[in-house]
Structure 1
Amino acid sequence: MSDTQNFIVLGGSGGGLNIAHSFLKYMEPELKKLGKTYHLYIVDSSSHFFWNTGSPRSLVSATLLPTEKLFVPIADGFNSYDASLYTIIHGTAISWDVEGRTVTIKLAADEATQTLPYYALVLATGTRSPSPATSLHGNHMLSKAALEDLNNKIPSATSVIVAGGGPTGVEVAGEIGHFLNGSAGWFSSRPANPKAKVTLITKSDTLLPVLSKPRALTAETYLNKVGVDVVYNISVVSSTTDADGKTTVNLSNGEQWTADVYIPAWGTTPNTEYVPADLKNDQGYIKTNPTTLRIDAAGSRVYVAGDVGDYSRGGYHSLYTATPILAANIRRDLLAAAAPDETSVPDRLFTANNTETQAVPIGPRGVGAVNGWSLPSFLIWLLKGRDYMVGNALKTVHGRMV
């Protein structure tokens, strides 16, 4: 085992799992033929993958989208491989020694630490939103509990505040509005007998900044049709939950509002606390070569997969575009190191898609575009809004997306 090299993937996100499966399916067999032995380590703070794409519907009602469909054990996805080739570690990266080429993990079981040397390293630790209901905050049980708490509160709520005008905030507000208030008919702008006052707050002067202004205005119209009011140019400064369960939010305009349910959905924070400061930008995202997806400043064979890199726009569209290119470059580097006289493969280059591309379900409707071309509302419902593509959770964990 002394000649075995460690291939470490930090993060069981979609990007991390896709790279792990690519390595075991395709790269490891090729390298083995060249006489090279590798061991894959997958490290994640959660034992389960979270399909948080489906959380806007699941947080409203477990009947509409059962929470168990959102959480898939990571270990189950690797049972088809030789167990001697990989190790799954339930723990959190707490430090990274770039010069020494090691990462230190705090184990979830007993909080002991383990330091692993690496030959190749993929950083795929992702991002987190303010609420564990819409992203992992460590152990998946925190997210499951947050979803169940909202399942208990929302059906009886008469007032709901959602903060955030991006796709998560709009989808959450749309699902809640539709569940509580129903939907207006063809010739009505609002539901006839709304049960709850649902308010979506955004600090911007528009919704869904990736989309054009006309499509953003259509999104507001669709929100109105499920009884959601949109308030622009204010943000939540702080919030306090009372003993009776109601939440009071302090707004940037000096006002205080109180609601039965408050859901923060106003942005993401990269999970990069373990990354040295000089390798991150001002927002905490990892500085990544935007074409090769390597971290050039971190030495050889160090890469970024997914939202944690500064090259990514976020979301699965960006991930599915970048992952095959990243996998090809990792394969290229490992083969070149294993057989430098026989292997000469050029890099594959990634080009970010900065066009207007996004799909946002809003209750029974939706807005979106692909490469600037508008998608009809019924198609957004069919492709995403019908079940929030929850079938992709199993496919991701089991490597069927590779």
Structure 2
Amino acid sequence: MAKTIVILGASYAGLIVAHKLLKHSLKTAKEELKVVVVSPTTHHYWNLASVRAIIPGQIPDEKVFSSIPDGLAQYKESAVFVLGTATGVDIPSKTVLIKTPSGEQKQAYDILVIATGCRSDDDAPWKSSLSGYEATKAALHKTQEHVKAAKTIVVGGAGPTGVESAAEIGFEYGKNKEVTLITAGSQLLTGVPPSVATFADNELKKLHVNVIKDTKIISSTSTTEGKTELALSNGEKMVVDLYLPTIGVIPNSEFLPKSLLDDKGNVMVDQYLKVKGAEDIWAAGDITDCQPAQYIYCEKQAGALARNLDLVLSGKEPVVYKTDGAPIMGVSLGRSRATGRFGNMKMPSLVIWFVKGRTLGVQNMPGLVSGASA
């Protein structure tokens, strides 16, 4: 009888694990394998490029959306795609409850992989919508229309998404629109070396983006004229055509027992990426508590998890996933500049631009979804 591995989530981590298992472990495992991929969307969304995709005409839909079932079809009966959302996990019976378009169903597992990631705390298209592909695409198109029509735009938050989206808007429209980035922090990209923050600050100014620091956006309210009124912590109010919040993500973990989660809702994993307090359950990506929610860590975790599952399926012991390396971050600043860090060292703009900012990685999506890069 086949051993069933259920993977919840088909974004970056989920797809990497699925394809590596199907391409490699399928041949070396002691038992026959079946991989069941559960996802609320039929299409992977390359949201790393969302900051540029919100600019009308810059990135076509086919460069940021790709069919997940089509990528799994090559494995025939060894891979099963389930369109649905996990609503519960019964650990003793090793069963997942899944809400599908045709109703609730139960899915048994021998090994469970949690790769459900997180979602945006707003309607902006920074993450894939739990309502599926069409909803995500609609949100992206709606934002494109608003960006094009707006004369005054405020981006809230100065993390990587906020800085990158403000830079993209400034690059395209800085001379014709009033673009403002507001952050509660005293510098951009909190936690990075001052040289990186200063470089980003200077580049945004060149792109005609006004940066307001040490100011929190307390609330946002729609006006009868279709604008947005922002109440700021300094007592001022701003009325703008478009407000794009980039602060706050919510882990997609509501379906899991509270005992498996930390106080932020992230899944707690051990040094092997096994979920603490649960037998035969593993996790990787933005849903875990072991590293920041960044693509570079997501990719590393997924690769490590796939290797450990391969070892376990072959009757061997898993190996430790190390999280003590130097912090890494790359931030695009429009379509010609970038900045980033490796530890406490500022990376050259040209290097980060070439690796990330030039294309925002859209050329890698076909390989991810088809498994060619596994």
TM-score range, shorter chain: over 0.9
**Using the alignment, how far apart are the partners of 1:12 and 1:163 within structure 2?**
28
**Using the alignment, how far apart are the partners of 1:76 and 1:373 within structure 2?**
42
C-alpha spacing 1:370/1:106, structure 2 compared with 1 (3 Å) = same
Partner of 1:4: 2
What amino acid sits opposite 1:10 in the alignment?
L
The runs of 5 or more residues in structure 1 that have no matched partner are 182-193, 337-344
How far apart are 1:354 and its partner, in Å?
4.9
Report Cα offsets for 1:221-244 as digits up to 9, x if no partner.
Answer: 111111111112222233222344
Report Cα offsets for 1:145-168 as digits up to 9, x if no partner.
Answer: 122112222223221010111000
CA contact (8 A) 1:271 1:308 kept: yes
**Using the alignment, how far apart are the partners of 1:175 and 1:354 within structure 2?**
30
**Using the alignment, how far apart are the partners of 2:353 and 2:333 within structure 1?**
8
C-alpha spacing 1:385/1:156, structure 2 compared with 1 (3 Å) = same
**Using the alignment, how far apart are the partners of 1:267 and 1:400 within structure 2?**
33
Q: 2:303 aligns with which of 297, 300, 324?
A: 324
Partner of 1:127: 118
- 1:298 and 2:292 correspond: no
CA contact (8 A) 1:11 1:42 kept: yes
How far apart are 1:55 and its partner, in Å?
0.5
CA contact (8 A) 1:168 1:265 kept: yes
Cα RMSD, aligned residues only: 1.6
What amino acid sits opposite 1:80 in the alignment?
Q
> Does the residue aligned with 2:99 lie in a helix, a strand or coil?
strand
**Using the alignment, how far apart are the partners of 2:3 and 2:327 within structure 1?**
42
How far apart are 1:132 and its partner, in Å?
4.0
How far apart are 1:302 and its partner, in Å?
1.0
What amino acid sits opposite 2:246 in the alignment?
A
Report Cα offsets for 1:58-103 as digits up to 9, x if no partner.
Answer: 1012x2111221011101111221x211210110011111222111
What amino acid sits opposite 1:133 in the alignment?
P
**Using the alignment, how far apart are the partners of 2:224 and 2:310 within structure 1?**
55
What amino acid sits opposite 2:145 in the alignment?
N
What amino acid sits opposite 2:178 in the alignment?
K
How far apart are 1:374 and its partner, in Å?
2.6
Partner of 1:230: 211
Identity over aligned pairs, percent: 32
The runs of 5 or more residues in structure 2 that have no matched partner are none
- 1:65 and 2:59 correspond: yes
Q: 1:162 aligns with which of 155, 163, 167?
A: 155
**Using the alignment, how far apart are the partners of 2:177 and 2:322 within structure 1?**
45
What amino acid sits opposite 2:312 in the alignment?
D
CA contact (8 A) 1:65 1:387 kept: no
**Using the alignment, how far apart are the partners of 1:283 and 1:296 within structure 2?**
16
Partner of 2:71: 77
- Shifted more, 217-226 versus 247-256: the winner is 247-256
**Using the alignment, how far apart are the partners of 2:88 and 2:233 within structure 1?**
36
- 1:240 and 2:212 correspond: no
Partner of 1:283: 264
**Using the alignment, how far apart are the partners of 1:235 and 1:99 within structure 2?**
45
What amino acid sits opposite 2:323 in the alignment?
A
- Shifted more, 205-214 versus 219-228: the winner is 205-214
**Using the alignment, how far apart are the partners of 2:236 and 2:257 within structure 1?**
39
**Using the alignment, how far apart are the partners of 1:400 and 1:136 within structure 2?**
23
How far apart are 1:16 and its partner, in Å?
0.6
Partner of 1:152: 145
Partner of 2:80: 87
CA contact (8 A) 2:193 2:346 kept: no
Q: 1:249 aligns with which of 227, 230, 239?
A: 230
**Using the alignment, how far apart are the partners of 2:224 and 2:365 within structure 1?**
37
CA contact (8 A) 2:272 2:305 kept: yes
**Using the alignment, how far apart are the partners of 1:332 and 1:116 within structure 2?**
24
**Using the alignment, how far apart are the partners of 2:219 and 2:325 within structure 1?**
33
What amino acid sits opposite 1:4 in the alignment?
A
Partner of 1:348: 319
Partner of 1:18: 16
C-alpha spacing 1:18/1:9, structure 2 compared with 1 (3 Å) = same
**Using the alignment, how far apart are the partners of 1:90 and 1:379 within structure 2?**
39
Q: 2:108 aligns with which of 81, 103, 117?
A: 117
Q: Aligned residue pairs: how many?
A: 371
Partner of 1:191: none
**Using the alignment, how far apart are the partners of 2:296 and 2:191 within structure 1?**
13
Partner of 1:172: 165
